[in-house]
Amino acid sequence: MRSVHKGVMVDVDRGTPITDWWTDIKVPTGPRNKEKSGYPTQKPLALLERIITVSSNPGDLVLDVFAGSGTTLLAAQKLGRRFVGADINLAAIQTTTKRLLGAKNPTQPDLDDEEDASVSDGCGFEIYNVNHYDIFRNPVEAKELLIEALEVQKLEFSTVFDGEKDGRMVKIMPVNRITTRADLNELIAGFDYKAWERKQNENPNRPVEKISLVCMGHEPDLAAQLELAAKPFKIEVEVVDILRDKANLEFKRDSEAKVSIKKGELVIAKFYPMNLLQKLSIQKESVEDWRELVESVLIDWNYDGAVLQPAVLDIPGKDDLVKGVYKVPDDAGTIRVKITDLLSESWEGSVSNGD
């Protein structure tokens, strides 16, 4: 326990002032260390506890937008602070979820129990998928996938553009993040002013170029910024935001699952995490026990159609498997099941009590 007295941080337990060079907190190491989550950049819990203790009060809101393994959130939870965390990496969200769920009592987690957090009731936090930046696992392949999915004609002689479609020049912008004005620089540097001059002389009233920018989210004035940079030439820019329009695109193979209610029990009969199987070069037919490919099963017995609030959290320890069969409570309504595989990719589906 630490507190600040007259501008000096004091370790209350030991009564010694803490200097600005913190050497008393050690990074969790060793294979048997229970604090270790396996996340490569994990920070010591004691470090985050100290920072949160001296800089906030119980009930305050702690925000960590680069949550990683969730150390900040765990410390916040332990110290009775509310918290919001975010991470772009699915595995980070999964590790964080596991660690937070490991705390049986939300205000006083017991890390020693982290390993045996198999099935517990309620969890005191919710998980939202606020964007879909996980569309592309491999940004290098992304361009090829997009060109194929959008049916873009590749250009024989490469220019700054990636292809052509319906008379428009297509540029695939960086994937897995929003496109900003700075991302247009390469394109602007490659503008072919000589060709534009010729086109303008031929057809003075027509735009000299029609351009489609393919991106995953963008600054609101992106098209206008590019049109402005082309002055005095007139170009026409459209922005194709694949996060918004992604219903029409299919890149990843979705996972499949067979879930049903039998004699008052929810039974997961089959689960095929297609990307994982592809990575392991395993055929669907060769999966003997689907549970070996699964990291967790979460079940919300009364799904509100928006946020998964799981009452069942089946997260086995390293050497155990999920149960796969769960007793359905009497008051169950729309049941939502979330099965997460070893790549932290999830299948989610609803089952009605009566199916």
Give contact residues for ligand SAM (rule: CB under 6 A): 39, 41-43, 65-66, 68-69, 71, 86-89, 92
3-state SS of the chain is CEEEECCEEEECCCCEECCCCCCCCCCCCCCCCCCCCCCCCCCCHHHHHHHHHHHCCCCCEEEECCCCCCHHHHHHHHCCCEEEECCCCHHHHHHHHHHHHCCCCCCCCCHHHHHHCCCCCCCCCCCCCCCCHHHCCCHHHHHHHHHHHCCCEECCCCCCCCEEECCEEEEECCCCCCECHHHHHHHHHCCCHHHHHHHHHHCCCCCCEEEEEEECCECCCHHHHHHHHCCCCCEEEEEEECCCCHHHCCCCCCCEEEEEEECCEEEEEEEECHHHHHHCCCCHHHCCCHHHHEEEEEEECCCCCCCCCCCEEECCCCCCCCCCEEECCCCCCEEEEEEEECCCCEEEEEEECCC
Q: How far is the CB of 320 from ligand SAM (least distance, A)?
A: 24
Q: How far is the CB of 75 from ligand SAM (least distance, A)?
A: 9
Q: How far is the CB of 74 from ligand SAM (least distance, A)?
A: 9
For ligand SAM, the closer CB: 49 or 314: 49
Q: How far is the CB of 109 from ligand SAM (least distance, A)?
A: 15
Q: How far is the CB of 16 from ligand SAM (least distance, A)?
A: 26
Q: How far is the CB of 44 from ligand SAM (least distance, A)?
A: 8
Question: Angle, to 10 degrees, between the axis of helix 90-101 and the axis of helix 71-78?
Answer: 20
Q: How far is the CB of 330 from ligand SAM (least distance, A)?
A: 40
CA distance readout (Å), 54 to 29, 64, 108: 26, 16, 18
Q: How far is the CB of 134 from ligand SAM (least distance, A)?
A: 11
Through-space distance between the first and last CA atoms of the chain, rounded to whole angstroms: 53
For ligand SAM, the closer CB: 73 or 223: 73
For ligand SAM, the closer CB: 53 or 71: 71
Strand partners, 156: none
**Lookup: tokens for 202:** 């031929």
Quote the radius of gyration of the chain (alpha carbons, Å): 26
Strand partners, 326: 266
Report the residue closest to ligand SAM, judged by CB: 68
For ligand SAM, the closer CB: 89 or 118: 89
For ligand SAM, the closer CB: 150 or 343: 343
For ligand SAM, the closer CB: 48 or 208: 48
For ligand SAM, the closer CB: 39 or 196: 39
For ligand SAM, the closer CB: 74 or 223: 74
For ligand SAM, the closer CB: 104 or 177: 177
Q: How far is the CB of 25 from ligand SAM (least distance, A)?
A: 13
